[in-house]
Amino acid sequence: MPSISFSSGWSRTCVWQLTLWGYCCLNSLLSTGLITVDRYIFITRGIHYRRIVTPRRVAAAVALSWLAPAAVAAVKPATMLMGEEREEREWVAKAAQRW
């Protein structure tokens, strides 16, 4: 495996691209999971579906599926742009060299 060099540091464009990519991936996973849970409840609890899946619960789940990835994705650029990623980058580079 080729060695990874982080000597040039992180550009702001790269950081924001990674953030957007991470947000979209997490949001897609959570949305797909919500759809899966919805269909599971409909199939297994068909008679009680309308009592279990209320508009309020759906709105809360959708809001969570959009806000949770935003919170997670917002942490990474903050640490990367503040330079606190140096130790992690050095660890990754050393691990890549050992690999």
Which of the two residues, 23 and 4, has the higher pLDDT score? 23
The pTM of the full predicted model, rounded to 2 decimals, is 0.65
Q: How confident is the model at residue 15 (pLDDT cuts 50, 70, 90)?
A: confident
User: Which range, of 2-6, 63-67, 95-99, averages the lowest pLDDT?
Assistant: 2-6
Please tell me the predicted confidence (pLDDT) of residue 84.
52
**CB 66, CB 16: distance < 8 Å:** no
User: What are the percentages of helix, strand and coil residues in the chain, rounded to 5?
Assistant: 80, 0, 20
Q: How confident is the model at residue 7 (pLDDT cuts 50, 70, 90)?
A: very low
Q: What is the DSSP letter of 24?
A: H
| CA nearest to 26, candidates 73, 60, 58, 95 | 73
